């Protein structure tokens, strides 16, 4: 599995925690930054992750900002992306099982690093159920035009 990851300045610290977890789990990733805490525009950092996942270069992506809201909105503008904003383990599992989410968004100002790492582990370790959910994913894809 190969992961694309990025944040804006508001998610920089949590992104580093998540990358440490990915290192521990021996999961390959590419970091799209930013490399310092200067203020940046979150769409500029959501786009390379979303483009990479949509193109198939990466299996999944993780985006982090202050709340996770801006990054998830920006990522979801890219065709083929199903980015889920998640702040609990149950939702992390559900969005993989039922929605086949391919990008996870989280907010550094909303959750701490311990919970974020548990969410990432649950999200990465959960597979899409398929079945009746496939029809629903196909309907989401139709909305993209």
- Candidates 65, 97, 117, 133; catalytic one: 65
Question: Would the annotation count 61 as a binding residue?
Answer: no
Please tell me which residue in 83, 87, 97, 98 is annotated as part of the active site.
98
Active site residue 97: no
Contact status, residue 136 vs residue 104, Cβ threshold 8 Å: no
User: To which residue do tokens 């597979």 refer?
Assistant: 127
**Residue 82 is labelled as binding a ligand:** no
Q: DSSP letters along 54-88, please?
A: HHTSSSEEEEEESSSHHHHHHHTTSTT--EEE--S
Residues 44 and 81: beta-carbon distance below 8 Å: no
64 is in an annotated binding site: no
- The two tokens of residue 76 are 């979801």
The CA-CA-CA angle for residues 54, 127, 15, to 5°, reads 60
56 is in an annotated binding site: no
Does 98 qualify as catalytic in the annotation? yes
- 15 known member of a binding site: no
125 is in an annotated binding site: no
**Residue 33 counted as an annotated binding residue:** no
Q: Which residues are annotated as a binding site?
A: 8-9, 66-70, 99, 109, 132, 136
Q: Known catalytic residues?
A: 65, 98
Q: Which residues are annotated as a binding site for D-ribulose 5-phosphate?
A: 8-9, 66-70, 99, 109, 132, 136
């Amino acid at each position: 599995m190969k992961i694309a990851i990025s944040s804006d300045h508001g998610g920089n610290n949590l992104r580093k925690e998540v990358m440490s977890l990915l290192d521990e789990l021996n999961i390959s990733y590419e970091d799209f930054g930013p490399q310092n805490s200067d203020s940046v525009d979150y769409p500029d950092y959501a786009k390379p992750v979303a483009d990479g996942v949509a193109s198939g270069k990466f299996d999944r992506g993780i985006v982090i900002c202050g709340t996770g809201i801006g990054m998830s909105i920006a990522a979801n503008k890219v065709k083929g992306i199903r980015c889920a904003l998640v702040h609990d383990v149950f939702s992390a599992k559900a969005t993989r099982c039922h929605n086949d989410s391919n990008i996870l968004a989280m907010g550094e100002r909303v959750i701490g690093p311990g919970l974020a790492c548990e969410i990432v582990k649950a999200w990465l370790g959960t597979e899409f159920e398929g079945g009746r959910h496939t029809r629903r994913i196909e309907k989401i894809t139709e909305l993209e035009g």
